[in-house]
Amino acid sequence: MLTKFETKSARVKGLSFHPKRPWVLASLHNGVIQLWDYRMCTLIDKFDEHDGPVRGIDFHKQQPLFVSGGDDYKIKVGLLTGMKIVKIYHNENEWSALISYVSYFFLLCSVLTGHNHYVMCAQFHPSEDLVVSGSLDQTVRVWDISGLRKKNLSPGAVETDVRGISGVDLFGASDAVVKHVLEGHDRGVNWAAFHPSMPLIVSGADDRQVKIWRMNESKAWELDTCRGHYNNVSCAIFHPRQELILSNSEDKSIRVWDMSKRTGVQTFRRDHDRFWVLGAHPNLNLFAAGHDSGMIVFKLERERPAYAVHGNMLYYVKDRFLRQLDFNSSKDTAVMQLRSGSKFPVFSMSYNPAENAVLLCTRATNLENSTYDLYSIPKESDSQNPDAPEGKRSSGLTAVWVARNRFAVLDRMHSLLIKNLKNEIVKKVQVPSCEEIFYAGTGSLLLRDTDGVTLFDVQQKRSLATVKISKVKYVVWSADTSHVALLAKHAIMICNRKLESLCNIHENIRVKSGAWDESGVFIYTTSNHIKYALTSGDHGIIRTLDLPIYVTRVRGNSVYCLDRECRPRVLTIDPTEYRFKLALVNRKYDEVLHMVRNAKLVGQSIIAYLQKKGYPEVALHFVKDEKTRFSLALECGNIEVALEAAKALDERSCWERLGEAALLQGHHQVVEMCYQRTKNFDKLTFLYLITGNLAKLRKMMKIAEIRKDMSGHYQAALYLGDVSERVRILKNCGQKSLAYLTAATHGLDEEAEALKETFDPEKETVPEVDPNAQLLQPPPPINPLDTNWPLLTVSKGFFEGAIAAKGKAGQMAADLDMDTSGGEGWGDDAELQLDEDGFMDAPEGLGEEGLGKEEGGGWEVEEDLDLPPELDVPVGAGGGTEDGFFVPPTKGTSPTQMWCNNSQLPVDHILAGSFETAMRLLHDQVGVVNFGPYKSLFMQTLSRGRTSYLGLPSLPCLRGHPQRNWKDCGAKQGLPAVGLRLSDLISRLQQCYQLTTAGRFEDAVERFRVILLSVPLLVVDNKQEIAEAQQLITICREYIVGLTMETERKKLPKDTLEQQKRLCEMAAYFTHCNLQPVHMVLVLRTALNLFFKLRNFKTAAGFARRLLELGPKPDVAQQTRKILAACEKNLTDAHQLNYDPHNPFDLCAASFVPLYRGRPVEKCPLSGACYCPPYKGQICRVTEATEIGKDVIGLRVSPLQFR
């Protein structure tokens, strides 16, 4: 039994759950009615309208009403608006002391007339026109009220009718007829209730018994009795969904009974309080019980499903099955059946992907009786009827995997055991006090004690870190285990791997579950919300929930969860808000921008958020309102934007603030504008002075004069060093002596004289000129400052660029790439590709094969190695000095030796490092006599044959030998893994074709040859592939012969007619090599042109026709048709050539002459190239490795060929 909520009050005599909202009404013995929110754990409202105990209380099922009946013979109806009881309806009739819990309560008074004593309880049947009542007359009665129904008083009509009803006389005695009288209780019946769906009744009485009754149309009889309570049973009800009965009693206990077995299942006791009433929630698995000093809201069992997530798989327990849900395919299968025997549901699960095993923990009411089961999940299972494998059960509070083959068990003594897959104890670990353990990655655990969580290393047996948080209930690690969320009842703490707290979140409502999304945001649920938390501590609501869910995984905008019925569900959320914040935190402004543009996020709240969180520069770009824009721009020092905004606003205060800001940045042009706009002449004048702008300074002087601002005028003159102007000003303003002195001191004699004359000698004295006076002259500006102060170049923020380029999406995308492209590795690769002379989309495969010599650069890393000269590998000296006690072991058989024994394929021997046998095999099978071209292939293949890995540091490393039949070869039957596959070679053909198309014949030949030579080093599995390998050789041969000939032809002179004839012949032969159409078109065009020029129109026409048959491009076709038409006018050959297109021939690959059918011919044993007999014994021109005409076994590339 899980207590969800408790209240303290006077004795609770009546209870009712609200069908939808998390509310419960409690009516008290002292006349008060309380409305509680059991989720928020708060008292919403109360009212005190009754005198004396209130025993009847009920919420209306559809409407915001409730009704109460008290011992004061009064019935009140409350109307709820929002969370307030706004109105109470009084009804002043005489009621019986006891009132039922029904919505149209007032009818029951008529029913009472049948009983011989007080009616303690009455209740409507949920669907039929029946009422059940229990009375102190020791009977339970069932009443038929269909007569009442006819009076058209629907339950929904309550509030409209209530006022009008003034008495019981609405109901006649015939309205409720006794249908059954159930006798069996020996004392007064306190409670009777219908089963929600079956024709059953449960009753509880002062005889301390709970009785179950069955009824049909004609009669009702007692089914069974549940004995156990040792005082008056005050209330008994059916569980709305399970085969259970709940009863409570004045013996201070609540008991749960199994309906079919009629045995007690659970008992819940209180120390001092007698129970009086029980209530069941109509939809949820919630119950409430009222007792002497309050009420409890409780559940019978935990509803949280046990589940575990690994990769794309969710494992969860439902109805005694372990089920597996594939998140990607939504395939939900039962993978095994659990061993039965526990009456408690599975509490938690730990999944081990390496062994495909699960630990299922089951908590008993008495914690010490808890157990866990270790199951190995069957590899294959029939979902309809899954296996029930034998699990291993042991006692223990919690079991959690700590390694692939180890799990930790917290036993009932709260000590930690490490066990292996056989469920055997491997070791015991002393741990600090601990009441619960959680998974914490390989070899570690999180231990929970009363006030914190400790990260504990199981191997080292020591605590690594501790964090304070009380009563953690669940622990959720991020996928990469870099972060962990610790969930307590009302708090969430997010920590890093070292258990350093990153943020703390408090919730008023219970925290239920959580999962990390792929971007590192923690998504969690409370009883009524899905929320998010960034590791920075920022958190908020994503959406509301009707019912609690248990989040299993978050991907994109999908939240995968299990609901309370254990059904996997997917909820959609809008991740924009947290993604936006995350992008801001990570400074991924491209995403921010994208979201702002596409998600219509712009709003005051976002701007305020950005500003508050210190991103004014980001906010700036989203603001439309000029005033905000202006202040944001100033805040982040963006003068341009501020100026723009100031212009739009054109307010004096703005200009002033802008001026100050601009001055700080030395942006004096803007400063000037601001001073101009605000008509701040003094400052403007001074600005011109310090910037050395004399022209404007003079202008300012003029302006001052016009404005009759003497002081300003004088100052400007002083700044300018304009003495005569100063004299003039002084004179004009009546400062004659000063004017005279100024003029005299500065040596303006003429003016001084003139002034002196104006002095009236009678009244005025001409002042003395100080002979030592020094002139006050401003230094002339060396260089007027007409540009702004230089500022450091600041790379433009993302937004400045992006906003500026609004609309040019492409450009932005490019920018982003530049920003996001990561580590050096990529750069290197990219360069490598460029180095590869243009034509490649170069799969690396080619590099492996050692074309390196020609291409250099990135092709073959090994070639660049500075290999040391011959290294003397010391051979183990062996034990000369035996000590008689210890004999060092002799060398065993290495896998490579096995390979040689097991295979006759050359490549296996090369991989084994047995070059000698490999060469012999190649010699015997395909006639290789010159191994030069094979060297790089051998070395490459050899290096593929083994892996190296480090054992102990500073020691020579260990060897691995990858084998192609590793799964089933055992110790002796191994064969090496061959890196080279037929498909690799075939795909490499494409590059050769491209080289051919590009006219780079020698390169192409080189590569065709490598492919050809590689074919004997293949291992294939079936006949078709053998045929394909042979076909591959043929293709390579045709190209090599043709391209070699063409290369040769181009080198030949074409001066004489004979020489030209030979050229034409060779071009003609080329058209008989078996090439790809795209190449044949080129070949035919060459031949056509040559023959046309030679005036061999007849043969040329033949080429033209063949060309047209290949369907060349329109322009080529048109040209060809023209030539063909020209040829057809004169279908003759001017010269006799050694070429007969109609007589089939092979081409000698050495002399490039036709070998017509039937003539003797020698062939290359590998390539099958043909030669004139004189070439027998020489090296094949195509392979450059094999001997022409050699007698061989033949190509062997598959074990099939040896059977």
Partner 1 sequence: ICATCPGSSVVNMAAQQGDVDELFDVKNAYYIGSYQQCINEAQKVKPSSPEKEIERDMFLYRAYIAQRKYAVVLDDIKANSPPELQAVKMFAEYLSSESKRDVIVADLDKKMAKSVDAANTTFLLMAASIYYHEMNTDAAIRTLHQGESLECMAMTIQVLLSLDRVDLARKELKKMQEQDEDATLTQLATAWVNIAVGGEKLQDAYYIFQEMSDKYSSTLLLLNGQAACYMAQNKWEEAEGVLQEALDKVTSRYLSQLKDAHRAHPFLKDYLAKENEFDRLALQYAPTATA
In the range 815-844, which residues lie near partner 1 by CB under 8 A?
A: 823-825, 828
Closest distance between partner 1 and the C-beta of residue 857, in Å? Answer: 15
Which residues sit opposite 32 in a β-bridge?
Answer: 48
Of the candidates 356, 463, 528, 557, which one interacts with partner 1 according to CB under 8 A?
Answer: 463
User: 195: left (phi > 0), else alpha (psi -120 to 50), else beta?
Assistant: beta
Which residue lies nearer to partner 1 by CB, 870 or 1115?
870
User: Cα-flanking dihedrals φ and ψ of residue 33, to 5°?
Assistant: -115, 130
Closest distance between partner 1 and the C-beta of residue 958, in Å? Answer: 6
Stretch that binds partner 1, among 196-204, 316-324, 678-686, 935-943 (CB under 8 A): 935-943
Task: Give the footprint of partner 1 on residues 761-820 (CB under 8 A).
Answer: none
Stretch that binds partner 1, among 554-562, 602-610, 934-942, 1070-1078 (CB under 8 A): 934-942
Torsion of CA 406, 412, 415, 420, to 10 degrees: -20
Task: Give the footprint of partner 1 on residues 1009-1068 (CB under 8 A).
Answer: none
User: Cα-flanking dihedrals φ and ψ of residue 172, to 5°?
Assistant: -85, 170
Of the candidates 32, 421, 601, 939, which one interacts with partner 1 according to CB under 8 A?
Answer: 939
Task: Give the footprint of partner 1 on residues 1126-1155 (CB under 8 A).
Answer: 1150
Of the candidates 932, 1053, 1114, 1158, which one interacts with partner 1 according to CB under 8 A?
Answer: 932
Closest distance between partner 1 and the C-beta of residue 406, in Å? Answer: 7
Closest distance between partner 1 and the C-beta of residue 464, in Å? Answer: 6
Helices (H), 361-426: none
Is residue 946 part of the contact set for partner 1 (CB under 8 A)? yes
Is residue 169 part of the contact set for partner 1 (CB under 8 A)? no
Of the candidates 181, 570, 791, 950, which one interacts with partner 1 according to CB under 8 A?
Answer: 950
The site map against partner 1 for 963-1002 (x = CB under 8 A) is xx-xxxxxx--x--x-x-----------------------
3-state class (DSSP) for residue 810: helix
Of the candidates 73, 686, 759, 931, which one interacts with partner 1 according to CB under 8 A?
Answer: 931
Q: Contact at 8 Å (CB) between 309 and 555?
A: no
Closest distance between partner 1 and the C-beta of residue 664, in Å? Answer: 40
Which residue lies nearer to partner 1 by CB, 149 or 972?
972
Structure tokens at 658: 């802008």
Of the candidates 127, 152, 384, 430, which one interacts with partner 1 according to CB under 8 A?
Answer: 430
End-to-end CA distance of the chain: 73
Which residue lies nearer to partner 1 by CB, 82 or 932?
932
The site map against partner 1 for 342-361 (x = CB under 8 A) is ------------x-------
Is residue 962 part of the contact set for partner 1 (CB under 8 A)? yes
**CA 730 to CA 741: how far, in whole Å?**
10
Is residue 1160 part of the contact set for partner 1 (CB under 8 A)? no
Closest distance between partner 1 and the C-beta of residue 872, in Å? Answer: 9
3-state class (DSSP) for residue 991: helix
Of the candidates 248, 444, 552, 903, which one interacts with partner 1 according to CB under 8 A?
Answer: 444
Most distant pair of Cα atoms in the chain: their distance: 150
Which residue lies nearer to partner 1 by CB, 272 or 891?
891
Is residue 930 part of the contact set for partner 1 (CB under 8 A)? yes
Stretch that binds partner 1, among 169-177, 302-310, 598-606, 883-891 (CB under 8 A): 883-891
Is residue 1187 part of the contact set for partner 1 (CB under 8 A)? yes
CB 315: neighbour CB atoms within 10 A? 21
Q: How far is CA 1110 from CA 84, 529, 1090, 1177, in A?
A: 89, 69, 19, 39
Which residue lies nearer to partner 1 by CB, 330 or 930?
930
Is residue 952 part of the contact set for partner 1 (CB under 8 A)? yes
Task: Give the footprint of partner 1 on residues 649-678 (CB under 8 A).
Answer: none
**CA 277 to CA 193: how far, in whole Å?**
12
Task: Give the footprint of partner 1 on residues 468-497 (CB under 8 A).
Answer: 481
Q: Contact at 8 Å (CB) between 253 and 268?
A: yes
Is residue 424 part of the contact set for partner 1 (CB under 8 A)? no
**CA 184 to CA 760: how far, in whole Å?**
142
Q: Contact at 8 Å (CB) between 743 and 723?
A: yes
> Residue 125 CA to chain centroid, in angstroms?
51
Task: Give the footprint of partner 1 on residues 201-260 (CB under 8 A).
Answer: none
Which residue lies nearer to partner 1 by CB, 155 or 1177?
1177
**CA 551 to CA 570: how far, in whole Å?**
9
Of the candidates 384, 450, 954, 1056, which one interacts with partner 1 according to CB under 8 A?
Answer: 954
Is residue 959 part of the contact set for partner 1 (CB under 8 A)? yes
Task: Tell how strand 568-572 and strand 947-949 pair up.
Answer: unpaired
Closest distance between partner 1 and the C-beta of residue 1182, in Å? Answer: 14
Which residue lies nearer to partner 1 by CB, 352 or 1096?
352
Structure tokens at 488: 């307590």
Closest distance between partner 1 and the C-beta of residue 1047, in Å? Answer: 18
3-state class (DSSP) for residue 1158: coil
Closest distance between partner 1 and the C-beta of residue 866, in Å? Answer: 7
The answer for residues whose C-beta is within 8 angstroms of residue 742's C-beta and 6 or more apart is: 723, 726, 727, 730, 748
Closest distance between partner 1 and the C-beta of residue 916, in Å? Answer: 6
Angle at 1125 between CA 1120 and CA 1126, to 5 degrees: 95
Of the candidates 951, 1053, 1114, 1160, which one interacts with partner 1 according to CB under 8 A?
Answer: 951
Structure tokens at 1146: 């092979």
Question: How long is the chain?
Answer: 1203
Of the candidates 879, 1144, 1173, 1194, which one interacts with partner 1 according to CB under 8 A?
Answer: 879
Task: Give the footprint of partner 1 on residues 369-408 (CB under 8 A).
Answer: 403-404, 406
Closest distance between partner 1 and the C-beta of residue 813, in Å? Answer: 26
Long-range contacts of 854-860 (CB under 8 A, 24+ apart): 854/1003, 854/1006, 857/832, 858/832, 858/833, 860/936
Q: Contact at 8 Å (CB) between 926 and 1166?
A: yes
626-635 helix and 604-612 helix, angle to the nearest 10 degrees: 10
Task: Give the footprint of partner 1 on residues 1164-1183 (CB under 8 A).
Answer: 1175-1179
Task: Give the footprint of partner 1 on residues 859-878 (CB under 8 A).
Answer: 865-868, 870-871, 873-878
**CA 939 to CA 951: how far, in whole Å?**
25
Q: Contact at 8 Å (CB) between 712 and 685?
A: yes
Number of residues that bind partner 1 (CB under 8 A): 99
Which residue lies nearer to partner 1 by CB, 787 or 965?
965
Q: Contact at 8 Å (CB) between 338 and 318?
A: no
- CB-based burial of residue 59 (10 Å sphere; 0-12 exposed, 13-18 middle, 19+ buried)? buried
Q: How far is CA 1193 from CA 1082, 1190, 1196, in A?
A: 38, 10, 8
Stretch that binds partner 1, among 136-144, 180-188, 338-346, 952-960 (CB under 8 A): 952-960
Which residue lies nearer to partner 1 by CB, 818 or 867?
867
**CA 160 to CA 972: how far, in whole Å?**
93
Closest distance between partner 1 and the C-beta of residue 582, in Å? Answer: 25
Of the candidates 88, 958, 1027, 1125, which one interacts with partner 1 according to CB under 8 A?
Answer: 958
Structure tokens at 730: 């002084």
Long-range contacts of 382-388 (CB under 8 A, 24+ apart): 383/333, 383/334, 383/335, 384/334, 386/321, 386/334, 386/335, 386/336, 386/337, 387/336, 387/337, 388/336, 388/337, 388/338, 388/339
Which residue lies nearer to partner 1 by CB, 269 or 935?
935
Among the listed residues 949, 978, 959, the one whose alpha carbon sits nearest the alpha carbon of residue 895: 959
Structure tokens at 1098: 């007849």
Task: Give the footprint of partner 1 on residues 905-924 (CB under 8 A).
Answer: 913, 915-916, 919, 923
Closest distance between partner 1 and the C-beta of residue 835, in Å? Answer: 15
